[in-house]
Amino acid sequence: MTLAHRPAVLVARAVYPEVLDRLRQHFEVHANQEDSVFTRDELIARLQGMDGVFTTGSERMDEAVLAACPKLRICANMGVGYNNFDVAAMSARGVLGTNAPDVLTETTADFGFALLMATARRVAESEHFLRRGEWNSWRFDMFCGAEVHGSTLGVLGMGRIGQAIARRGAHGFGMQVIYHNRSRLDAATEASCKASYVSKGDLLARADHLVLVLPYTPAAHHSIGAAELAQMKPTATLVNIARGGIVDDAALAQALRERRIAAAGLDVFEGEPAVHPDLLTVPNVVLTPHIASATHGTRLAMANLAADNLIGYLTRGQALTPVNLDTLVPAARG
């Protein structure tokens, strides 16, 4: 295939140079190594004439964008989540969406458990205390946190990452694991995680440490709001490594301020990178900037999987991890 006849792809954010080199072996590549965050109009302009786009959570692929880019055939997301995709609109227009599952499971679960530990043991709160120069004596109850070993771990959303969190808790920390999911896991998977299925109400009421790992959908919006927080123990902690919007951040900040739950650890936020200002004023929350998958090896694997999906679909009509292949309009099936 000559260069003139190669498909054209846009890489919408900065990415590893070696991934761009792989893509250039197959495509006319339009890169964004300056890492500009495009407005909708800028994204539409950049997508003109593009057959594919390498996306991150920054690029909202909605009906307006798709309608303005009729040549587009595939959006390959560098991430397991794809709430930046209007999947129904993509399917109707014959645009395949792909994501990057599996390669980030263990790294994300490691971070989720690190955030759980930091939250339970008040790591950030005590560090701030030390940095302010306020540590000048010892008290028997200074920064006493919650037990982790032997406590009850609740997991809301028991996919790959949820299961990995459960295994860490059960096998590494002797925790009793309970979970709630849209559908119950098979017996063998439950046994491998030492996890018991419970109702959402029981999960909220019983968990000492509740970890959210469910995908974002409109139905999942504010799955944890004021009513759900009221069902939790006042000694409980909440960790969100799923997606912003699953938690009502304003309600959470109020519950933390009033000590209706003990603490929270958040890696994701509604409207990120903006963070609800009330969360910045409560001491009993650990805040991190959406870095659960942030190791060099994992982020490179995520980028390579997005590249593999672009290469596979635009050169052979086959993608490794499609999210809407079954709903693509018939004329667009590869």
CA distance 120 to 147: 7
Task: Name the nearest CA neighbour of 54 among 70, 72, 41.
Answer: 72
CA distance 218 to 225: 14
Beta bridge partners of 286: 265
Contacts by residues 299-303 (CB-CB < 8 Å, ≥ 24 positions apart): 299/16, 300/16, 300/18, 300/19, 301/100, 301/103, 301/104, 302/78, 302/79, 302/100, 302/103, 302/104, 303/15, 303/16, 303/19, 303/78
Indicate which residue of 22, 46, 243, 276 is catalytic. Answer: 243
CA distance 46 to 53: 10
Name the strand (E) or helix (H) holding 8.
strand 8-11
Indicate which residue of 272, 276, 299, 333 is catalytic. Answer: 272
Question: Which alpha helices (DSSP H) does 219-295 contain, by range?
Answer: 226-231, 249-257
Active site residue 272: yes
On whether the CB atoms of residues 30 and 53 are closer than 8 A, the answer is: no
Sign of torsion over alpha carbons 258, 260, 266, 272: negative
Q: Under 8 Å CB-to-CB from 69, ≥6 apart: which residues?
A: 44, 47, 48, 50
Q: How far is CA 140 from the centre of its chain?
A: 38
On whether the CB atoms of residues 108 and 292 are closer than 8 A, the answer is: yes
CA distance 161 to 214: 9
Indicate which residue of 290, 296, 299, 316 is catalytic. Answer: 290
Q: Which residue has the tokens 């290469």?
A: 311
Active site residue 243: yes
Active site residue 316: no
The CA–CA distances, whole Å, from 256 to 19, 229, 232, 245 equal 42, 10, 12, 17
Q: Would you please indicate which residues are annotated as catalytic (active-site) residues?
A: 243, 272, 290
